[in-house]
Amino acid sequence: MIFTIIALGQEPEANVKEIKVTAPKFAGVKNAAAIHKSEKSQTINEYLAKNFDHPGNSEYRPEGTEVVQFNVTPSGELTDFVIINSVSPEIDQEMVRVLETTNGMWIPGFNNNVPAEMTKEVSLAFCTKSNSSKSVTEIFTEKATNCYFAGTKTLFEKQNPKKALKYYNWGINYLPNDQSLLLARGICRYETGDKEGARQDWERIKTLGGFDIEHWELTENAKELDSYDELISIFEDYK
């Protein structure tokens, strides 16, 4: 049995309403904010994978994709850690610990060439591979897809949102940024009375770039839900 840790991340750069916005970037050296440029080739993905010390019982290691959000200050320090998707409390703690060791190793984000505090996210995928020829991405996508279809059948055919919610939770544990899973879980949360949880899922979709519910493959089935009209009204705020 092989336990694999895969780091995932992006370094986006965008122009927003003619304002030049550059995202924070990991430099891999101390005092990066003052240096601004670094010849180091190490990425935050490589740093996390190299320095992460897996906690807990080596015979039982949970699978999933850990996602942590934080702010990078103009001085290259990390603040305001938020666990977006938790694989386990122990992994949460270790992930934050490793990230804290990168304080000062970040080139800050810039707004019109002025250093500015910005939000950043990093991910680690924890996968137990047993003689598999598939990649971690393929394994997690397959598992999340199975959870999605099981949840959808339970929600719409069996009309059991409480049980369907468990399937969607499992799927999101593997693919935390899958918008169809987030939308479906939001519906289940809303149907079971957790309106705040539903709003959190839909707000996450907005953060990820938005979602056109009219083109969602299960829209027609969703229309049969008692709360559909109110749900659509709320979701309009998150497009």
pLDDT score of 60 more than 70: yes
Per-residue pLDDT, averaged over 22-26, amounts to: 88
Q: What is the pLDDT of residues 78-133, one digit of tens each?
A: 999 999 999 999 999 999 999 999 999 999 999 888 999 999 999 999 988 766 78
> What is the separation, in whole angstroms, between the first and last Cα of the chain?
43
User: Mean of the pLDDT values across residues 169-175?
Assistant: 98
- The per-residue pLDDT for 12 is 43
Domain 136-238 architecture: Alpha Horseshoe (1.25)
Instruction: Report residue 138's pLDDT band, with 50, 70 and 90 as the boundaries.
Output: very high
Query: Pick the residue with more confidence: 217 or 193?
Result: 193
**Which pLDDT score is estimated for 233?**
78
Task: Report yes or no: 165 and 189 within 8 Å, Cβ to Cβ.
Answer: yes
What does the domain layout of the chain look like in residue ranges? 2-129, 136-238
pLDDT at position 76 is: 92
pLDDT at 17: 47
Between residues 86 and 229, the one the model is more confident about: 86
pLDDT at 36 over 80: no
Instruction: Average the pLDDT over 133-157 and give the result.
Output: 94
* Residue 233 contacts residue 190 (beta carbons within 8 Å): no
Could you report the per-residue pLDDT of 197-221, keeping only the tens digit for each? 998 998 898 889 887 777 677 777 8
pLDDT of residue 184: 92
Q: What is the pLDDT of residue 15?
A: 44
Q: Given the structure tokens 């598939």, which residue do they identify?
A: 134
Residue 140 scores a pLDDT above 50: yes
For the chain, give the DSSP string: -EEEEEEE----EEEETTEEEE--EE-SSTTHHHH--------HHHHHHHH----S-TT----EEEEEEEEE-TTS-EEEEEEEE-S-HHHHHHHHHHHHTTTT-EEPEEETTEEE-EEEEEEEEEEEESS--S-HHHHHHHHHHHHHHHHHIIIIIS--HHHHHHHHHHHHHH-TT-HHHHHHHHHHHHHTT-HHHHHHHHHHHHHTT---GGG-TTHHHHTTSTTHHHHHHHHGGG-
